[in-house]
Amino acid sequence: MAEHNYWSQRVSRRTALRGAGLGVAGLAGAALIGCGGDDDDAAPAATAAATQASGSVAAPAAGGMIDTPFSLAQIEDAPVAKRGGTFRASSRSDVLPTKDVITTQGGARGTGAAVYSMMVQKKGTENKSDHPSLEISPDLGQSWEVTPDGLQYTFDIVKNAHITPPIDRQLTTEDIVFSWDRWKALAVNPDQLDMIESMTAPDDFTLVMKLNRPEGIFLNRLTDNFNFMVYPKEADGGYDPEKEMIGSGPWMLKEYTPSLVLRMERSPTWHGGPDRPYLDTYEVNYVPERAQEVNQFLGGNLDGVGSLSAENGLRMIDAGMQWSNWGGTPGIGHIAFGDPRDGSAPWADDRVRKAVSLGLDRDKLYVAAFGIDKLKSAGIDWDIVWAAHVPAAMGKAWVDPKTDDGNVGKFINYDPAEAKKLLAAAGYPDGFKADFNYSIAYGTSWATEAEIIPQMLKDVGIDLTINVNDHSSVYVPKTFKGDFTGLAYILNAWPEPENYLSAFYTPGAGRNQSKVDDPALLKEIRRVNSIFDLSERQGAIQDLLQVLANKMYYVPAIGWSGPSWTAAQPYVKNWGKSKIARGATYVVSYPTWWLDQ
C-alpha cells in the first residue's frame, strides 16, 4: 500500500484521499482515554544532537549536549498576529480540572498540561506533513546531556520558569524533584517511567535522572502528560491540588463550573512567552450531545470541534470550514480478557482468543464504523487498513495483516470456519457465553463498532452480553484497569509503538488490561525497547508482532483505525500549523492560535 498524507488537505470533495500504511500519525481526543532485557551493545549514533525520526534520541558516542533554542511550537510567528480574544471549544464529557492530575485519568490530564509544565515537549508540525514530528523540543529542560550507555540524563533547567500566583515565584529543580517523588507515590500509571532509578538536583537549575535500563524512547515518555508534570513544592500542604491548579505553564485556571464550562486565561509570565499565548482565554463548554455540538459550531457559537463522523466531516467541507481528516490515528481498539483469570475461563486457552480474532470481519466493521460508503459517495476514496498489535499508523514498526504470511496474517484475519474449529479443539464446540464491557465516550464510530462485535462473534458461537459502562464511574476506574468480568473493548493510544508493548504486557501496569504475566515475553519487550537505532528497533518490533499474534493476549479490532474529522472556523489562524501526536496540545498548539476577527 502506498503511504498517504495523514494530515488535513484543503481539497474539494472530488479529490481522492487514499488512506494507507503511514508513518507515525497524530491523535485527537487523547485526553478522554481512561485515560493514559539488557541492551546487546547496539551501536549508538555519533552524537546526542541527532534525533531519530521516531523521536527517540540517539545515545551519544562520547557524551554531548542537546542544545535547542526554546520554541515549543516550531512555526513562524505571523507579523500580523493579533493578541486577545477567547477560543471557544467544547467537550462531551466534564473535564474535571479540579481533580489532582496525578491520581486521575482522562480529561484532567489534558487540562493539567495547560497549567503544569513538563520536562520536554514534542515539536509541533504542519498539517501538510506526512506525519507529526516526534522530535523533542525543550520545555523546563532547555538542553540535556546523555551518557554513552544511555543510563544518565543531565538537564539544564530554564531560569525564567515562573509559578503563577498565589505562589508567584521562580521554579527550581526542588519543584521538579518534589513532583517526581509525589508522582511515584500517587500516579496511576507509574510503569511508564519505571526505568527512572533516581532524580537528583545538584543545584537549582541542574537535574540528573539516572535510569535502571536504557530506553530508546525515554524522552518521548517525558513528553506525555499522562506520565509526568511538574507541580510547585507547595502542593505538599500549601494548597490542595484536588481543588486548585497552580503551575508554570501557559495558562491559569480562571473559572470552572461543573458540567457547564471551563475557562483558562493566559499566563503573562510563561517561559514560552512573552508574546504567546496570543489568546487571552480559551474555554471548554460542556455540550453532551453530538448533534447540538455540531449545530453550535456551524452556527458560529464554537470556534473548533473534533472527533466528527464522516457525515459531519463532509458538512464541514460544504460549510467552508478549516478541517483535518485524522485517518489511521495511533490508537487501537482491542478486546481484553478479564475475570475469571484462574485458568477456568475459556479464554485461558490461546485457541479461544484466536477464535475471537478470527470471528471479526474487520473490513465490515471499518465500513460501518467510519462511514466509508458516505465518503465514497462524496468522491473520497479511502483504503481500509487493520491494526496488528500496534496501529497501522506505526509505519515500519507495523505488520500488515492483509499481506503478511506469518502469524499476524494467519490470526488477525476473518475466518469463521477456522474460529469454530479452534473453539471445538479447545473444548467449546458449542461456544461459550460471557459479558462484553465497553464505554461509548469515544464517539459514534467507537459505539457502532462495539455494538457490531457481539453480533459477529455470535456467528461463531460466542454469545456476549453487552454491558455499557458509565465512563467516569465504571470504565475509567475499573474496566480500563482490567477490573472486569468476561471481555472488554478498550481504547489505548500512544504515538510510539514501543508503548503498546511495555504497557500491555508489564505485570501490574495500569494498562495491562488482560493482566498478562509472561516473563519471557516481557524480557524480549524490554530488550527491543532498549535499542536506540530506529531501523533496528522497528525490525525487532515487527518480529515481536508475530509472537504477539500467536499468543493473542489482546485481540486488535478497528477502533481509531479510520478517519476522524476536526474543524475550526476560518478566522482561527495558525490552527493547522502546530499539530502534535499526543500530549500537551494546550502548550504546543493553543498558544500559537490567534483570532482574525
- Mean pLDDT is lowest, of 40-49, 150-159, 295-304, 346-355, for 40-49
Spatial distance between the Cα atoms of 214 and 150, rounded to a whole number of angstroms: 5
**Cell 496525578 sits at which residue?**
102
Please give the pLDDT value at position 4.
29
Please give the pLDDT value at position 106.
57
Q: Give the mean model confidence (pLDDT) for residues 52-77.
A: 36
The pTM (predicted TM-score) of the whole model is: 0.78
> Which domains does the chain show, CATH number per domain?
41-296+565-595 (3.40.190.10), 331-556 (3.10.105.10)
Q: What angle do CA 153, 154, 160 make, to 5 degrees?
A: 130
Q: Is residue 366 over pLDDT 80?
A: yes
Q: Is residue 108 over pLDDT 80?
A: no
Q: Give the mean model confidence (pLDDT) for residues 300-314.
A: 89
Q: Is residue 223 over pLDDT 50?
A: yes
Q: Is residue 211 over pLDDT 70?
A: yes
Phi then psi for residue 144, to 5 deg, are -155, 150
Spatial distance between the Cα atoms of 10 and 26, rounded to a whole number of angstroms: 18
pLDDT > 70 fraction of the chain, expressed in percent and rounded: 81
* Contacting residues for 539 by C-beta, under 8 A, at least 6 apart: none
Q: Give the mean model confidence (pLDDT) for residues 427-433.
A: 98
pLDDT tens digit string along 15-61? 333 222 222 222 333 333 334 332 222 222 222 222 222 333 444 33
* Contacting residues for 243 by C-beta, under 8 A, at least 6 apart: 98
Query: At 581, is the pLDDT very low, low, confident or very high (cuts 50, 70, 90)?
Result: low
